[in-house]
Amino acid sequence: MGRYVIRRLLQALLTLFITLFLLHYLTALSVQIRGNPALLFFGGERTPDPAMLAQIERLYGLDNTCFDRPGDPCLGPFVERLQNYAAGDFGTTLNGNRDVGELLTIYIPNTLRLFIFSTITLVTLAMVLGTWAARRRGGLIDHSVRGATILIDSVPVFLILLAYVYILAVPLTNWARDIWGAESFMGQVFRPNYNPDYPWTTIIIPGIIVGTVGLATLTRLVRASQLENLGSDFVRTAKAKGLKTGRITVVHVVRNSMIPIVTGVGYTFAFALSGAVLTEGIMGIPGMGRMIFQAVQRQETNLIIVGLTVTAVVVILVTLVVDLLYAVLDPRIRYD
Amino acid sequence: MAETTGPAADVLPGSDMNAPLLEVEDLRVEFAVRGRRIPAVRGVNFALEQGKTLAVVGESGSGKSVTSQAIMGILDSPPGFVTGGEVRLRGVDLLQQDEETRRTVRGNHIAIVFQDALSALNPVWSVGFQLGELYRVHRGAGRRAAEQKAIELLDQVGIPDAKNRVGHYPHQFSGGMRQRVMIAMALALDPEVLIADEPTTALDVTVQAQIMRLLRRIQDERNMGLILITHDLGVVADVADDVAVMYAGQIVERANIHDVFARPAHPYTKALLRAIPRVDAVGRELEVIPGLPPNPAALPSGCPFHPRCRAADPERCGDEEPPDRQAAEGHLARCHFAEEVYRDER
């Protein structure tokens, strides 16, 4: 077990390092090919005073000559950046000169809230529907569940979001306000956009939508793994041992079924990050997804790198947790 | 052997110790597949006495395993249903009992050893837990006491270093050792009847012999009734007292082991015996039974074996289903010509 954990930790660190380097290299290439982002500082039209340009370049760490040589990996600035991150310094934005670390403290909690709601929705619905379908295998319910989840999965998330925002949100909000008042939970929950005064309430619906959209994969996974275990030889053994049905389910089915499900949740979580960009954009939630999207539009090199670094860290952490849970659940992995 | 922990559900209510240990009478099992009822076991009869071994022999699909699962009451239903007959344990018809009684019979009175121990053991629990579970559930033993019993059991079935092995997981054992764990699990509650469903099929030959010796030793020690299900007549020869040969969901021949080997009374048994490879027949082509076992959903008319039978009378065997005929004292065969086959005249 100890060796397994250490190996996984080292793998996670290595993955993180490689991700950071690739991010750095790609953005360096973009600067080398597309041109100097410091020019943006001057509106992008006028030719700036060389002295001022040099000062700006120094300010944002763009003064290294490696940025003039396409293909140069720019190791110097890379090491510098890692040192800054380690010291808690994430730099500033080109536009408005805001501290990126401060922006993160606003954006990360919002995205986390979105993920909490979407993960809860996803896991609960998938467990309930998957178990239900497995129990009624081959019946109407089984086919309906599988059909419906695939149908939801085939519709792009932004379409569902747009449909919600433009068709449902306003009438629902008006209806709820008439009954419970504008400042109540019900009055806020259906809003078509984020409200900074109600950071939890106004993220519930977007979270549910993101969670529902990823449902098909996990539901099928739950169904398949339960079916596999219900029909397995060791469940037959458990019956032959004279155990009660309840004990068989709890001791001999659930734990075995959890192994693929935990993996599935991990994957879906990482996958939801891409959904977050669209969701946060459409619902106006100031979160990591929207931040990265806008940073790309405005050529905010530093912001892009920081944003993607944070997402990479999250994905690597989730994968690590999944791997460790895996080992807790399955001795065959623990003792490999 | 009655060293039980805590309250024992050892005596089945209503049972009569003078009645035969296990009697199966006219047992019928059907499977519901797409609205159709497909017979898998079609009226099986046999009896098992204490301390005796009955070998049930047959090809795959002949209904051996379904019979054993029906006796245990662990048939997956749906699709499988027991549609008739009686399974009497010391005179008590198990099929008439409620689920709670049947549950206590499992493990306590009748236990089963499955073929493939790797898949029959739960991969995520230690063998100690899976063994101890029986004492905890049936005898109310605590975790410690259950583990102690598990170590004793592992020791009894010949697993070296049982004290350390008890915390290991199934995948950490070799095939033979895993089968020993399976056997230990079946023995845990000291059952009167042990069903071994192809216990050595998944093992290589040297290990097969060890497992068979172990089963025989344990049966002797505990004076259990043993039902040995196999498709391998070779395994049966030096272990069994009686043999029941199954074909298409029926027992087609039932007799003492020596009788069956010396003077089979059913053409199917005869063909099976001929198909055993012989050391003294090197170079001769291996005998096979022509054709395939019948599809239970579309059984041939008359005698189900007649399309593959050497001795069949084309008219009679294709039309008329043979009854059980007594070829000799205690030697039954389901063949119109049982006596003639027995005398080797057909």
Segment B252-275 mean pLDDT: 89
Q: How much is the mean pLDDT over chain A?
A: 86
Residue B6 has pLDDT above 70, yes or no: no
Residue A307 inside a domain? The answer is no
Q: Is B202 on the interface with A (CB under 8 A)?
A: no
Q: Provide the domain count of chain A.
A: 2
Asked whether residue A41 is domain-assigned, the answer is yes
Last residue of a domain, one of A86, A115, A134: A86
Task: Taking residues B278-295, report their average pLDDT.
Answer: 80
Over residues B32-43, the pLDDT tens digits come to 888 888 999 999
d(CA B187, CA B112): 9
Residues 226-245, chain A, touching B (beta carbon < 8 A)? 231-234, 236-244
Residues A240 and A168 in one domain: yes
Strand partners, B229: B56, B197
Q: What is the pLDDT of residue A166?
A: 92
Give yes or no: residues A39 and A145 share one domain: no
Residue to test with chain B: of A237, A255, A325, A334, most B Cβ within 10 A = A237
In a domain, A315, yes or no: no
- Asked if residue A154 and residue A34 are part of one domain, the reply reads no
Nearest to A331 among B133, B134, B169 (CB): B169
> A60 and A138 share a domain?
no
Give the torsion sign (CA, B17, B20, B21, B27).
negative
Are A224 and A199 in the same domain? Answer: yes
Domain ranges across chain B: 22-240, 264-342
Is B181 at the interface with chain A, CB within 8 A? Answer: no
Would you list the DSSP string of B100-148? HHHHHHHHHTEEEE-S-HHHHS-TTS-HHHHHHHHHHHHS---HHHHHH
CA distance A179 to B278: 90
Residue B15 scores a pLDDT above 60:
yes
d(CA B234, CA A172): 77
Residue B247 pairs in a beta bridge with B250
Q: Which residue in A240, A247, A251 is closest to B106 by CB distance?
A: A240
| Residue A264 and residue A196 share a domain | yes
CB contacts < 8 Å between A and B, how many? 73
In eight-state DSSP terms, residue B59 is: -
Give domain status of residue A320, yes or no.
no
**pLDDT: is A134 or B122 the higher one?**
B122
Q: What is the pLDDT of residue A14?
A: 94
Answer whether residue A165 is part of any domain: yes
- Low-confidence residues of chain A: pLDDT under 70: 43-46, 274, 336
Q: Please check whether residues A55 and A121 belong to one and the same domain.
A: no
The per-residue pLDDT of chain B, averaged, comes to: 87
> How many CB atoms are located within 10 Å of the residue B86 CB?
15
Q: Is the pLDDT of residue B52 over 60?
A: yes
A80 and A179 belong to one structural domain: no
pLDDT at residue B200 in the model: 84
- The rounded distance, in Å, linking the Cα atoms of B132 and B124 is 15
Taking an 8 Å cut-off on Cβ atoms, the answer to whether A236 and B171 are in contact is: no
**Residue A324 domain-assigned (yes or no):** no
- Domain region containing A282: 100-299
Q: What CA–CA distance (Å, rounded) separates B41 from B246?
A: 10
- Do A166 and A295 share a domain, yes or no? yes
Q: For residues B246 and B211, is the Cβ–Cβ distance under 8 A?
A: no
Q: What is the pLDDT of residues B130-179, one digit of tens each?
A: 999 999 999 988 899 999 999 999 998 989 999 999 999 999 999 889 99
Q: Is the pLDDT of residue B4 over 60?
A: no
CATH superfamily of B22-240: P-loop containing nucleotide triphosphate hydrolases (3.40.50.300)
Q: Is residue A158 part of a domain?
A: yes
Nearest to B119 by CA among A259, A233, A224: A233
**pLDDT bucket at B27, cuts 50 / 70 / 90:** very high
Residue A131 lies in a domain: yes
Which domain CATH number covers A290?
A: 1.10.3720.10
| A29 and A125 in a common domain | no
Decide which of A86, A111, A143 is a domain's last residue.
A86
Nearest residue, CB atoms, A242 vs list B121, B125, B138:
B138
For residue B12, the model assigns a pLDDT of 79
The residues, any chain, with a CB within 8 Å of residue A326's CB and separated by 6 or more, are A259, A262, A263, A333
Residues of A in contact with B76 (CB under 8 A): 231, 236
Give the residue from chain A lying closest to B69, CA to CA.
Answer: A240
Return the bridge partners of B244, or none.
B56, B254
Cα separation of the two ends of chain A: 9
Q: Which amino acid is at A328?
A: V
Cis check: omega of the bond before B307, within 30 degrees of 0: no
Task: Sort out which chain B residues have CB atoms less than 8 A from A247's CB and list them.
Answer: 137
More confident: A198 or B5? A198
